[in-house]
Structure 1
Amino acid sequence: MTTRRPPLTVRAARRISATRAFARLAPRVVPALDHWVHRLTRGRVLPSTRMLPGAVITARGARTGLPRAIPLACMPEQDGTWVLVGSNFGRPHHPAWTANLLAHPDAGMNWKGDDFPVTARLLEGAEREETWARVLDFWPPYAAYQARIDRRIRLFRLTRRPAPPP
């Protein structure tokens, strides 16, 4: 069985996103652009989804308890769950949103313009290792991010919860 090569644009994005220069620039540009366009289009457009599937996650701040909305790349799974990767573009510290989900795992998710509640669970042990292997198949630059940092990249699985009654 032969595997199809990804399109040239995806191959180029993978190569560029694995660089240190991208890791310095992207955290300032990508989330801000995604957030602005997502708000402007009322949840219909998320520019970074041209390369990776993405969602906007709204979780309460770990310290403040205030809602924090952040656009994130995610890996949809066959069973209707999603995996979030706390890579922080290969920077040395965990992204703030991971602390928010650890403190307050019940969150909101906007997926392709649809809003619904989710519960986040930090993956550990064998489950994390199996998921990490699939994450690397999904987006190989995550391996470059992990190679240049000492911390272990956090993985979260998001599961949809029933909507609260009106």
Structure 2
Amino acid sequence: MSDFNAQVIADFMATNGKPGGYFKDAPVLLLHSTGAKSGQERTLPLMYLREGDGPWFIFASFAGNDSNPDWFHNLKAHPDAAISIGDGTEISRVPVTARMLEGDERDAIYARQASLYPQFADYQNKTSRTIPVVELASRG
């Protein structure tokens, strides 16, 4: 795990889900996925979009790199995962199932995220791939 991610995770845990720094005032969750090859749990901080009590949406932007991040491949191989969400007073772990969005559904969610956080528009402009959007629906 990168030092950056390790620091964000530590900050997330210390602040009950409200990390500072780069992610100050941004919605952040911890994704707990199973490694596609290793079978080991992997934990990664990610920004998300959620409106109301609906599912969470995460974005395989990889900061605009030309390949998808490892966590995306992990979710494709093992769609049952978990997320940790914090509200500043406590952290909850929620079992989720991942579904990759396609077409207009994907485009609408990505456009919403890019309107709220313009760096996501920049990420899409930096790469020739279509950045995947993943829906995380609660299993609990």
Give the TM-score normalised by structure 2.
Answer: 0.86
Note the 1:1-166 alignment, pairs <5 A: 30-39=4-13, 41=14, 43-47=16-20, 48-112=22-86, 113-162=91-140
Task: Give 1 or 2: higher strand fraction.
Answer: 2
Structure possessing the higher radius of gyration over alpha carbons: 1
Distance 1:38 1:129 in 2: 29
SS at match of 1:62: coil
Choose 84-93 or 42-51, whichever is displaced more: 42-51
Aligned to 1:21: none
CA contact (8 A) 2:64 2:127 kept: yes
Question: Where does structure 1 differ by over 4 angstroms across 4 or more consecutive aligned residues?
Answer: 42-45
Is the 2:17–2:85 Cα contact (8 Å) retained in structure 1?
A: no
- Structure number with higher relative contact order (C-alpha < 8 Å, ≥ 6 residues apart): 2
- 1:41-92 deviation line (CA, Å, top 9, x unaligned): 2854433541310000101001111110111111112243111011111122
Which residue in 2 is equivalent to 1:5? none
Identity %: 32
- In angstroms, what is the RMSD of aligned CA positions? 2.0
Over 3 Å counting, the alpha-carbon distance change for 1:44 and 1:138 in structure 2 is: closer
Q: What 5-or-longer segments of structure 1 have no aligned partner?
A: 1-27
The aligned amino acid for 2:105 is: E
Give the length in aligned residue pairs. 135
CA distance in 2, matches of 1:158, 1:142: 19
Worse-superposed segment, 46-55 or 63-72: 46-55
Cα 1:44/1:136, change in 2 over 3 Å: closer
What SS does the corresponding residue of 1:94 show, helix, strand or coil? coil
Matching residue's letter, 2:43: A
CA distance in 2, matches of 1:29, 1:61: 19
Between the aligned partners of 1:126 and 1:60, the Cα distance in structure 2 is 28
